[in-house]
Amino acid sequence: MKKRLFKNFTAVLVSVLACLLLMAESVSAADTDQPYSFNYDDFRNAMPAPDPYEVRYDIDVNSILGVGRLSGAQGLFVQGNQAYIVDTGNNRILVINLSENGYSLERIITEAGGFLLNAPRDVFVTEDGKLYIADTGNHHVLVVDSDLNLLFEAVKPTSTSFDQAMDFKPEKLIVTAGGRIFVQADAVNRGLMEFSEEGDFIGYMGSSPVTFDIIDYFWKLVSTEAQKEQLASFVPTEYNNVAIGPDGFLFVTTDTFTTGDLWNGDANPVRRLNYNGSDIMIRTDKVIGALNWNSDSDCSRFADVTVLNNDVFYCLDKTLCYIYAYDGQGQSLYVFGGAGNRKGYFQSPVALEHWNNDLLVLDEKSGFVTVLKLTDYGQAYSDAVTQYDSGHYEESMEAWQEVLRRNGNCILAYDGIGKILLRNGDYEEALEYLRYAKDRYYYSKAWQLYRKDWIEKNLIYFLIGLLVLIAVILVIRIIKKIRRDMAAYEDEREKIRIRNRNQV
């Protein structure tokens, strides 16, 4: 009997273990098909979160389109339903038609405006079809119409503000609605180079602020010429990419900084520039990506940034291969992606663009462009941010609740619901959500309004109670006085009776 029970128990145990192994394998297989996602808590600890994006498909120009592998591709741009892939090593630009279910090749550009492309690194396309090409190897910005006819060139400035001993090597560019061209050029650390709509050089915009160490400055004063050459120069850092937001403001990225610069606030890897070149980025959180105190090489280095119509912007980390999402207030939304050769991961990402709410990531090493679409969780997150910024707070509340239902660790969802409840006058409930969000400012504000509201609502009862108390006190005093008077009257009558008896 015991042997039979032992055999049955063993068989059940083996079956359970086998099921668990199968489940683990299926979960593992599912995990490899999607990016790894997380968000940060107040102490910048990573907390696992649902995936905000999933892979729609990978654009494989070699196996699927049959036009050969990408070689050192550096640029990516989306206009309408077309993606422009700048295949730097092959001196060409591939125009890809995008759809939800697939993609196709529209054309290949190897020559434009009478020039053979030479190591192009970026392209910008306007709504009317004009192409602005950072034709780096030819040392100019090439501007052509939709039929690739030459309109004009932006070439090396003759201004003394540009080092004439240096080649003009445009690497990244954007064009404003008015036709102004802003170029990030190699070895230029005075900011973005600005050209007019005719290609004339205007000047520099958005120079990175200069920082220096007072100790280094002292040593420069007392050092020899040979020693001075080994010390760092106090010059602005150069940008490595530029993008334009829906409001026309420019977003720039830089990757020359140290860990200490990040924490001290001396380095801002992402900046939002107004028309005067001033950084107007709102930073509720540190817009810096990942940070490792022990190694500068383990810090995030942003290669690109793209901005959606709801002011949510995404930063591409070329070091750790993550994508970081921030809202218009600089609050960290979520992080996803990672380094690897699995689906949804990246090996050497160099460019990031958006197509509606989809994201496109160009990977220099794999030669793929990964198209990512929002998951249900990501769509709820996007709706919550968009509706809140648009002033549709009830719709935003529903979306935040959906986010919270899918991810109970989402601090921003607690904060968003708490702020809406505060705005609606539900101060007591707002206190609970804002406490979870650890939002001290709005928690204090909610507490002040809750206290004020409580006093206003209960003041009448307080006054009534006070009046009743005063009335009770007065009645008691009157009763006591009457009793004293009655006692005195009785005493007087008793004295009179005694005096009358004595006289008799």
Calpha distance 398→416 (Å, rounded): 11
Could you please report the per-residue DSSP string of 399-432? HHHHHHHH-TT-HHHHHHHHHHHHHHT-HHHHHH
Burial 155-172 (b: 16+ CB within 10 A, else e): bbbeeeebeeeeebbbbb
* DSSP 8-state code for residue 237: P
- Kindly give the pairing relationship between strand 111-112 and strand 115-116: antiparallel
pLDDT value of position 58:
97
* pTM beyond 0.85, yes or no: no
How many CA atoms, within 13 angstroms, populate the side-chain half-sphere of residue 133?
37
Calpha distance 359→53 (Å, rounded): 9
Backbone angle region of 118, left / alpha / beta, with phi > 0 → left and psi within -120 to 50 → alpha: beta
Judge whether 334 and 39 are in contact, CB under 8 Å.
yes
pLDDT value of position 227:
52
Which residue, among 94, 102, 99, 104, has the nearest Cα to 125 in the 3D structure? 94
Which residue, among 303, 111, 241, 122, has the nearest Cα to 132 in the 3D structure? 122
CATH at 250: 2.120.10.30
Could you report the per-residue pLDDT of 352-375, keeping only the tens digit for each? 999 999 999 999 999 999 999 999
Could you report the per-residue pLDDT of 464-496, keeping only the tens digit for each? 888 999 999 999 999 988 988 888 888 888 788
Average pLDDT, the chain: 87
Judge whether 272 and 249 are in contact, CB under 8 Å.
yes
pLDDT value of position 346:
96
**Which range is least confidently modeled, 231-245, 312-326, 349-363?**
231-245
Burial class (CB in 10 A: 0-12, 13-18, 19+), 448: exposed
pLDDT value of position 339:
93
Could you report the per-residue pLDDT of 275-285, keeping only the tens digit for each? 888 999 998 88
Tokens of 86: 């700048």
**Which range is least confidently modeled, 161-165, 418-422, 469-473, 500-504?**
500-504
Residue 214 falls inside a structural domain: yes
Give Cα separations from 120 to 138, 169, 175, 306, 354 (angstroms).
8, 10, 17, 20, 21
How many CA atoms, within 13 angstroms, populate the side-chain half-sphere of residue 463?
6
**Which range is least confidently modeled, 168-177, 453-462, 491-500?**
491-500
Report the percentage of the chain scoring pLDDT > 90. 67
Domain around 62: 53-374
Residue 307 falls inside a structural domain: yes
Residue 14 falls inside a structural domain: no
State yes or no: pLDDT of 10 exceeds 70: no
Residue 225 falls inside a structural domain: yes
Calpha distance 285→27 (Å, rounded): 33
291-309 mean pLDDT: 82
Calpha distance 401→418 (Å, rounded): 11
Residue 500 falls inside a structural domain: no
Higher pLDDT, 259 or 149: 149
Judge whether 434 and 423 are in contact, CB under 8 Å.
no
Residue 41 falls inside a structural domain: no
Could you report the per-residue pLDDT of 204-226, keeping only the tens digit for each? 998 765 555 555 555 555 556 65
Burial 234-246 (b: 16+ CB within 10 A, else e): eebbbbbbbbbbe
pLDDT value of position 209:
59
Residue 26's pLDDT band, with cuts at 50, 70 and 90, is very low
Question: How many domains, in total, are found in the chain?
Answer: 1
Higher pLDDT, 82 or 12: 82
**Adjacent-strand bridge partners of 112:** 115
> Which residue type, as a one-letter code, is found at position 394?
E
State yes or no: pLDDT of 456 exceeds 60: yes
pLDDT value of position 218:
55
Residue 80 falls inside a structural domain: yes
Residue 502's pLDDT band, with cuts at 50, 70 and 90, is confident
Calpha distance 76→82 (Å, rounded): 11
pLDDT value of position 307:
97
pLDDT value of position 308:
96
Query: What number of other Cβ atoms are within 10 A of residue 65's Cβ?
Result: 15
State yes or no: pLDDT of 16 exceeds 60: no
Residue 304 falls inside a structural domain: yes
Judge whether 93 and 108 are in contact, CB under 8 Å.
yes
Radius of gyration of the chain (CA): 35
- DSSP H helical segments within 2-110, as ranges? 2-32
The three-class DSSP label of residue 378 is helix
State yes or no: pLDDT of 246 exceeds 60: yes
**Which range is least confidently modeled, 8-22, 130-144, 284-298, 458-472?**
8-22
Dihedral (CA of 126, 314, 308, 263) sign? negative
Higher pLDDT, 90 or 261: 90
Residue 28's pLDDT band, with cuts at 50, 70 and 90, is very low
117-126 mean pLDDT: 98
Judge whether 285 and 255 are in contact, CB under 8 Å.
no
Query: What number of other Cβ atoms are within 10 A of residue 117's Cβ?
Result: 24
